[in-house]
Amino acid sequence: MRLGIHIPLKGGFAANLMRVKEYGCETIQLFAGNPTAWKMAPPNVVEIEKRAVLAREQSIYPVVIHCAYLVNLATRSPDFHEKSVQLLGETMQRAALHGAPYVVLHTGNHGGAGVEEGLEQIIETIDGALPKWPDGVKLLLENTAGSGTALGSSFEELARILKSFPPYTLGICLDTAHGWAAGYDFGTADGVKMLLEQFERLIGLESLYLLHLNDAKVARGSRVDRHEHIGRGQIGRDGFRELLRQPWPEGMPVILETPDIGSEWDRRNLKAVRSLLL
């Protein structure tokens, strides 16, 4: 597997890439623009292509783009829906410029319309948008903590979206803290074995392209999204050890989104993960 971490926008791409490279990172994730803004500044193509070159030169791959949190493909508001489709499309284009093969997306909140309607709208929206997305960039649906009316917290819901498209059209990003909050037992070896069996049965491990490795501040099943430093939260080291020791395909990216990204904690968290691999 290739271990990496989410890098902040603050400080700039190059400085952050070189900083985490020093910590032994082999892959990175970033937001393509302000994650809480609807409008992206027009791309500085020269600047972004420089990023792609730098990542390549430093053997940092894959570069992963996390889509802005505002995007909600299940929203009932036509205005927000249009903005969401627009911003997701721009993010896919931005990923292509970065040489990034993956864009990670939280599938959305149905806002009271119900799970079934929400899922159907997500599927329709992706189906309509897909032809406009660049080749070579895959959308990865990330499992969510399931707060409020968030969709995609269960493997069943993710499978429903994924399997509405031909195999390998979309992929999955599995986040341990979100899974834990949604009730999956990432905390014990038995729990991890069981949930991976479930994943295999409902989704298929061949659709898993990325792991988000985060400990959780909250109790299992609490449906609250609060990340914690690796080994210092409710999930703890045993579950992570079991998860990391699975026979993952070579080069499977594992990315941390632990608290205080951009600080000295990055080094500590990466070290904590590496100690579990020994």
Q: Which stretches of the chain bind Zn ion, using CB under 5 A?
A: 142, 175, 212
* Minimal distance, residue 242 CB to Zn ion, in Å: 19
Q: Least distance to Zn ion from the beta carbon of 49, Å?
A: 26
Nearest approach in angstroms of CB 105 to Zn ion is: 8
Helix (H, G, I), strand (E, B) or coil at 232: coil
Assess contact for 4 and 27: CB atoms under 8 A: yes
Round to whole Å and give the CA distance between 74 and 264.
Answer: 37
Which CB, 175 or 215, lies closer to Zn ion?
175
Nearer to Zn ion, 69 or 114 (CB): 69
* CB-nearer residue toward Zn ion: 69 or 168: 69
| Nearest distance from C-beta of residue 36 to Zn ion, angstroms | 14
- What values do phi and psi take at 81, rounded to 5? -65, -45
Nearer to Zn ion, 138 or 212 (CB): 212
Contact between 240 and 230 (Cβ < 8 Å):
yes
Q: Which lies closer to Zn ion via its Cβ, residue 48 or residue 103? A: 103
Give the Cα separation of 47 and 52 in Å (integer).
Answer: 9
Q: Minimum distance from CB of 210 to Zn ion (Å)? A: 9
Strands (DSSP E) contained in 39-149 are 63-66, 102-106, 138-142
β-pairing, 208-213 with 253-256?
parallel
Do residues 45 and 82 touch, judged by C-beta distance below 8 A? no
Task: Kindly state the tokens that stand for 253.
Answer: 């990216």
The least CB distance from residue 71 to Zn ion, in Å, is 11
Which of residues 212 and 217 has its CB atom nearest to Zn ion in the complex? 212
The C-alpha atoms of residue 236 and residue 253 are separated, in whole angstroms, by: 20
